[in-house]
Amino acid sequence: MSDGKPRSFQEIILRLQAYWAAQGCAILQPYDMEVGAGTFHPATTLRALGSRPWAAAYVQPSRRPTDGRYGENPNRLQHYYQYQVLIKPSPPDLQELYLGSLAAIGIDFDYHDIRFVEDDWESPTLGAWGLGWEVWCDGMEVSQFTYFQQVGGHDCRPVSGELTYGLERLAMYVLGIDHVMDMPFNDPGAPIPLKYGDVFRQTEEEYSRWNFDVADTGKLLHFFEAAEAECVRILDHPQVDPRSGKRIIMVHPAYDQCIKASHFFNLLDARGVISVTERQAYIGRVRALAKRCADAFVETNAGGWTGDASAAAE
Amino acid sequence: MPDLLIELFSEEIPARMQADAREALKRRVTDGLVEAGLTYAAARAWSTPRRLVLAVEGLTGRSPDLREERKGPRVDAPEQALEGFLRSTGLTKDQLQARDDKKGQVWIAILEKPGRPAADIVAEVLEATIRNFPWPKSMRWGAGSLRWVRPLQSILCLLSDEAGAEIVPLEVDGIRAGDVTRGHRFMAPAPFRVTGVEDYQAKLKRAFVMLDQDERADHIWHAATNAAFAQGLELVEDRGLLAEVAGLVEWPVVLMGAIREEFLSLPAEVLQTSMKEHQKFFSVRDPKSGRIVRFVTVVNRETADHGETILHGNGKVLAARLSDAAFFWGNDLAVARAGMADWRAGLEQVTFHGKLGSQADRIARIEALAREIAPLVGADADQAAQAARVAKLDLQSAMVGEFPELQGIMGRYYAEAAGLPSQIAAACEMHYKPLGPSDAVPTEPVSVAVALADKIDTLTGFWAIDEKPTGSKDPFALRRAALGVIRLVLGNGAKFRLASILELAHLALLQSLLFQSLAAVRWIETGEILIGERDTKYGLGFVQTLLKEGNVLKIEPNSNDQFPPFSSTVDIVSDLLAFFHDRLKVHLREQGIRHDVIDACLSMPGNDDLTLLVRRAEALNEVLRTEDGENLVQGFRRANNILTQAEAKDGVEYSFGADPKFAEDPAETALFAALDAAEAAIGPAMEHEDFAAAMAAMAALRGPIDAFFEAVQINAENEILRRNRLNLLHRIRATCLAVADLTRIEGA
């Protein structure tokens, strides 16, 4: 571990990567699609299902169109980074491991007040829930800590432990920065020092304008429906591929469509064209897709399927 | 006599669950021990965020040996009987004894159950307790199958006496009980052994764990009040928050910090709510200005810099939160000063209930109703209507969106900012009241009118769509609404016929639903929809006419599904009134008025005037406490019984014509005179609703009635005398029944 306080946003990310790599996690890369949170990455959603052990950590760019503030709000962004760790089964010392990661990014427990405050997590769109805490450092929420109980309507056995760090907020706290756009992205002593705002202020403006006022709601609605239909169509295919003769269930291509549908829904929401009552209906439609993907995943090898009918039935 | 110590050490237990968990642990373990034959002197349970602890003092070391003799079949009974007896006792034939009995020799089984050591029993009881613990929400973790509130990490279970300590042998889902625990997560994380309850408490304290939740709460309270007092300030009391923060820390340290100048102008309720909800901070008030000027946070550790870093961090988080609040407040004030039109428009888009329409439609109904109720409670009708129009606008404000619990309170601020009269601003806050049985009842007439209209519209609405409370289910808090109406009426001495207001409310509701196309009018004969389009307005009179012609038309929910038509106004009103009467009974019983007294008054006319009803009940309750009153009821009952029997037997009603000229006995003559006097007094008293006077006049009949029954035989040989006396009994009955339905009075 590097000593002392980190000096930039990216150093915090690099330290987290190094720390979780040292704990034995596979360091994955972000999923290459628009998602609302790191949980949507198949490395979390799908891998939390089934009996196979898993340990992965990754950064996930996340998009929440309704949170856009044209780069003006010190804390709110429509595009931000989450750091995500998923370990299955959850190890008995997960809290200690987690605290070790805070120490690795320069939080000294001799001077700070760390607290685990009840916060049960639920994702209506993924049909998932778990129990855990939000972790407070000096009254500031720095992470979500969750023991997954259900995903896509399936009981998690074994249970995964999930850690989610809101990277900008955490880094601002560690670096003592008041406005996200002022945060050093690379080292302040670098030949070309860049602030967070140098990287993202313009895109925050562009997306805020598009998300709130310009995105074509008719097209978005159409995209939503197309993604929904494609997801179902993919999963309706027989398990055995006629070309190769192999059993190939196309869970991930279908799940991609589920992710797309979820993102289109978020965009429609930001455009303000979804009423309160419709909202529930849309969420239910995405959840139905997530559930079908989860059903299909547990029929695959990665999902713990062994070809044994009795194991699959469980 | 050993002591038992149990510690269930886990990851952080939610603060709100700790109190129930302590009780459950104590109850389940001690019940289990007692059931297994052990006794104990005392038991105490404690909790911290990471541990649930139970100490049982003076436990017996073994359960007693039990010996039971069971009588079996006769020795010469058939083989099957013996076999059945052996099966039920679990013994073999050679273990039985033959013994003489009255009817010959019988088999006797002697069942001996040796006592068991406490450790075995504790192990069994604790395992069952852990496996079946009543957490409101529990979870699994890792690859295990045990459920606990959060992962259970270790179990400490010790039996200790002068001779030493013994670990209770116990293993639950791979966790083996031991004698080891740990201190504060950061200040003393090393594990250590303990030898008993006292040793455990002492070592925990050295390891920066204050085990007793009450001690933590006291410590927090004193440290916080002292810190405030030292600066000439006072802590805002909040017992709920105190219990919560005491459940979030093992080693409470109180820190007080300043609120930035720019936020001090926010309303006190906003500062308090934001700090409490988001940060779990206490508020500190300047007693001179009444403003919130500081915060107190309770942290879980001491630091070398005396909390400076922690306080700095908390202050930053608070500033970010309060910036949001200040932003909401500023924007809301701008909308309020502009007359709140944006919010009014917004409420048209907000659904109150799918079958009852939008908030805007609901407000229109409340306004119409408030206008009608206003004169009955001494309010100006126009002011009440105006108050009803603005009372719920703050639901659209950003501040109430963020903090729903500030509804009404913000409404008052915004109405004031909009320049509305003070009684209208007050109604924005007060019309939600009373919220609970101990909440004060508003008395300002405009607030009373809107509060009644709001609650009555809620009740009629959910009654109309058949969403009444059932059993323990009351999702729309309709019982609370009904009790609210009762307390508003009684608390203000308001006198009006509730039934006519309910009728009005129901008609206004149907009108509103027709207007919103949530209801349709259908010809019963043809099934054709007659009216169901929006853009038409219907007056109350029109709706009333439709309903009166119930044989031709029905009004039904407008939906693709088949819904039954709405019940008639008459049915809704009588059903709702019965609900009010039920709630009233509960309310009055809590005030010491007997339920039969309430029944006796309920069956009198005008029972939907709640104030009148209660005054009658109170007067009757009082008079029944007197000796005269109590005996009068007996006399009345005797008269009524004799009369009822005679009427049944003779098939006639003896309802008139008692004539004093047939009075034979002086007691009979005296009763005639007494009844004349009572009737003369009761009539005018009832007219003036002077129930005490009416009841007194009635009670005065007790002497003459008793004397009459003493001296006279009703069923006289002489038929004329008999009929006259029966008619006299009728006068007793009629006179009493004019005051209250004494047939409902029980006992005596």
Task: Let me know if residue A4 belongs to a domain.
Answer: no
Asked which of A223-237, B191-205, B462-476 is least confident by mean pLDDT, the reply is B462-476
Asked which of A49-58, B73-82, B172-181, B448-457 is least confident by mean pLDDT, the reply is B73-82
Nearest CA in chain A to B153: A92
Nearest CA in chain B to A130: B139
Same domain for A19 and A109?
A: yes
Task: Let me know if residue A1 belongs to a domain.
Answer: no
CA distance B329 to B79: 91
CA distance B411 to B405: 12
CATH of residue A183: 3.30.930.10
* Pairing label, strands B97-101, A161-166: unpaired
Residue contact B314–A139, C-beta within 8 A: yes
Chain B residues in contact with A130 by the CB 8 A cut-off are 139
- Asked if B403 and B417 touch (Cβ cutoff 8 Å), the reply is no
pLDDT at B472: 83
pLDDT at B9: 98
Task: Let me know if residue A189 belongs to a domain.
Answer: yes
Q: Which residues contact B149 (CB under 8 A, 6 or more apart)?
A: A131, B10, B13, B14, B17, B21, B135, B137, B138, B139
Q: Strand locations in B260-354, DSSP E?
A: 282-285, 292-299, 351-353
**Closest residue by Cα to residue A33 from A276, A214, A303, A263:** A263
Kindly state the tokens that stand for A106. Answer: 């320069």
Q: Considering just the CA atoms, what is the radius of gyration of chain A in Å?
A: 20
Residue A1: band (very low, low, confident or very high) from pLDDT cuts 50, 70, 90: very low
CA distance B564 to B285: 57
pLDDT at A308: 60
Q: Is the pLDDT of residue B544 over 70?
A: no
Owning domain of residue A137? 9-209
Residue contact A113–B310, C-beta within 8 A: yes
CA distance A240 to A236: 12
Residue B501 is which amino acid? Answer: I
Residue B648 is which amino acid? Answer: A
Residue contact A138–B351, C-beta within 8 A: no
Residue A175: band (very low, low, confident or very high) from pLDDT cuts 50, 70, 90: very high
Same domain for A275 and A143?
A: no
Per residue in B29-54, pLDDT tens? 999 999 999 999 999 999 999 999 99
* Distance from the B139 Cα atom to the nearest Cα atom in chain A, whole angstroms: 7
CA distance A297 to A249: 8
Residue contact A114–B186, C-beta within 8 A: yes
Residue B353: band (very low, low, confident or very high) from pLDDT cuts 50, 70, 90: confident
pLDDT at B553: 59
pLDDT at B748: 47
SS (H, E, C) B200-221: HHHHHHHCCCCCCHHHHHHHHH
Same domain for A308 and A289?
A: yes
Q: Strand locations in B661-735, DSSP E?
A: none
Residue contact B150–A114, C-beta within 8 A: no
DSSP A242: T
Chain A residues in contact with B11 by the CB 8 A cut-off are 95, 116
Kindly state the tokens that stand for A250. Answer: 């196309």
Q: Please give the helix or strand (H or E) that residue B478 lies within, else none.
A: helix B478-491
β-strand partners of B148:
B139
Same domain for A221 and A242?
A: yes
Residue length, chain A?
Answer: 314
Before A89, cis peptide (omega within 30)?
yes
Nearest CB neighbour to B139, from listed A118, A131, A275 = A131
CA distance B245 to B257: 17
More confident residue, B662 or B192: B192
Q: Which residues contact B582 (CB under 8 A, 6 or more apart)?
A: none
Mean pLDDT of A268-275: 82
CATH of residue A234: 1.20.58.180
Chain A residues in contact with B12 by the CB 8 A cut-off are 116-118, 133
CA distance B682 to B734: 11
Q: Considering just the CA atoms, what is the radius of gyration of chain B in Å?
A: 37
Nearest CB neighbour to B248, from listed A90, A115, A120 = A115
Same domain for A61 and A157?
A: yes
| Domain extent listing, chain B | 3-62+117-206, 66-113, 213-336, 343-573, 601-744
Residue contact B313–A140, C-beta within 8 A: yes
Q: What is the mean pLDDT of chain A?
A: 93
Per residue in B723-737, pLDDT tens? 899 999 999 999 999
Residue contact B354–A92, C-beta within 8 A: no
CA distance B213 to B484: 36
Q: Which residues contact A305 (CB under 8 A, 6 or more apart)?
A: A50, A298, A299, A311, A312
Residue A214: band (very low, low, confident or very high) from pLDDT cuts 50, 70, 90: very high
pLDDT at A314: 40
- Asked if A60 and A31 touch (Cβ cutoff 8 Å), the reply is yes
Residue B561: band (very low, low, confident or very high) from pLDDT cuts 50, 70, 90: low
Per residue in A276-294, pLDDT tens? 667 888 999 999 999 999 9
Residue contact A158–B49, C-beta within 8 A: no
More confident residue, B236 or B357: B236
pLDDT at A311: 45
Buried b (16+ CB within 10 A) or exposed e, A40-72: bbbbbbbbbbbbeebbbbbbbbbbbbebbeebe
Kindly state the tokens that stand for B206. Answer: 């050295």
CATH of domain B343-573: 1.10.3210
Per residue in B203-219, pLDDT tens? 999 999 999 999 999 99
Last residue of a domain, one of A152, A177, A209: A209
Task: Let me know if residue A147 belongs to a domain.
Answer: yes
Under 8 Å CB pairs connecting chains A and B tally to 99
Last residue of a domain, one of A166, A183, A209: A209
**Closest residue by Cα to residue B379 from B368, B370, B388, B366:** B370
Q: Is the pLDDT of residue A10 over 90?
A: yes
pLDDT at B535: 39
From the candidates A113, A120, A121, which should be mutated to test the interface with B, based on the most B CB atoms within 10 A? A113
Same domain for A172 and A110?
A: yes
Angle at the Cα of B483 from the Cα atoms of B482 and B487, rounded to 5 degrees: 120
* Distance from the B557 Cα atom to the nearest Cα atom in chain A, whole angstroms: 19
- Asked if A25 and A85 touch (Cβ cutoff 8 Å), the reply is yes
Chain A residues in contact with B312 by the CB 8 A cut-off are 138
Chain B residues in contact with A75 by the CB 8 A cut-off are 320
Q: How many domains does chain A have?
A: 2
Nearest CB neighbour to B143, from listed A111, A158, A178 = A158
**Closest residue by Cα to residue B698 from B655, B650, B747, B737:** B737
Same domain for A304 and A193?
A: no
Chain B residues in contact with A275 by the CB 8 A cut-off are 349
- Asked if B7 and B200 touch (Cβ cutoff 8 Å), the reply is yes
Angle at the Cα of B745 from the Cα atoms of B741 and B748, rounded to 5 degrees: 140
Same domain for A227 and A141?
A: no
Per residue in A62-111, pLDDT tens? 999 988 889 988 888 999 999 999 999 999 999 999 999 999 999 999 99
Q: Is the pLDDT of residue A207 over 50?
A: yes
Same domain for A193 and A248?
A: no
CA distance A242 to A263: 33
* Distance from the B310 Cα atom to the nearest Cα atom in chain A, whole angstroms: 5
Chain A residues in contact with B244 by the CB 8 A cut-off are none
Last residue of a domain, one of A209, A243, A268: A209
Total Cβ atoms within 10 A of residue B113: 12
Residue contact A111–B305, C-beta within 8 A: yes
Give the C-alpha distances (Å, rounded to integers) separating B331 from A213, B426, B657, B681: 21, 22, 80, 66
Q: Is the pLDDT of residue B262 over 80?
A: yes
Residue contact B279–A109, C-beta within 8 A: no
Task: Let me know if residue A128 belongs to a domain.
Answer: yes
Q: What is the mean pLDDT of chain B?
A: 90
Mean pLDDT of B111-115: 89
Listing DSSP states for B616-674 in one string gives: HHHHHHHHHTSHHHHHHHHHHHHHHHHHHHHHHHHTS---S---GGG--SHHHHHHHHH
Mean pLDDT of B562-580: 84
* Pairing label, strands B152-161, B164-167: antiparallel
- Asked if B340 and B390 touch (Cβ cutoff 8 Å), the reply is yes
Same domain for A306 and A258?
A: yes
* Distance from the B359 Cα atom to the nearest Cα atom in chain A, whole angstroms: 14
Percent of chain B with pLDDT over 90: 66
Residue length, chain B?
Answer: 748
Q: Helix or strand or coil: residue A306?
A: coil
Cα dihedral B518/B524/B527/B529 (nearest 10): -40
Per residue in B498-536, pLDDT tens? 999 999 998 888 888 877 777 776 666 666 665 554 435
Residue contact B140–A75, C-beta within 8 A: no
- Show which residues on chain B lie within 8 Å of chain A, measured between beta carbons: 11-12, 14-16, 49, 137-143, 149-151, 153, 185-186, 248-249, 279, 297, 299-301, 303-305, 309-310, 312-314, 316-318, 320, 349-351, 354
Mean pLDDT of B240-249: 96
- The correct answer on CATH 1.10.730 for the domain covering B601-744 is yes
Kindly state the tokens that stand for A6. Answer: 């980190």
Residue contact B310–A112, C-beta within 8 A: yes
Give the C-alpha distances (Å, rounded to integers) separating B88 from B68, B92, B94: 14, 11, 15
Give the C-alpha distances (Å, rounded to integers) separating B599 from B278, B324, B483, B636: 50, 56, 18, 17
Same domain for A258 and A163?
A: no
Mean pLDDT of B324-349: 91
Query: For tokens 């049944």, what's the residue?
Result: B648
Mean pLDDT of A8-37: 97
Nearest CA in chain B to A111: B303
β-strand partners of B161:
B164
Per residue in B124-144, pLDDT tens? 999 999 999 999 999 999 999
ipTM for the complex shown: 0.92
Nearest CB neighbour to A139, from listed B143, B313, B354 = B313
pLDDT at A41: 97
Same domain for A195 and A57?
A: yes
Q: Helix or strand or coil: residue A22?
A: helix
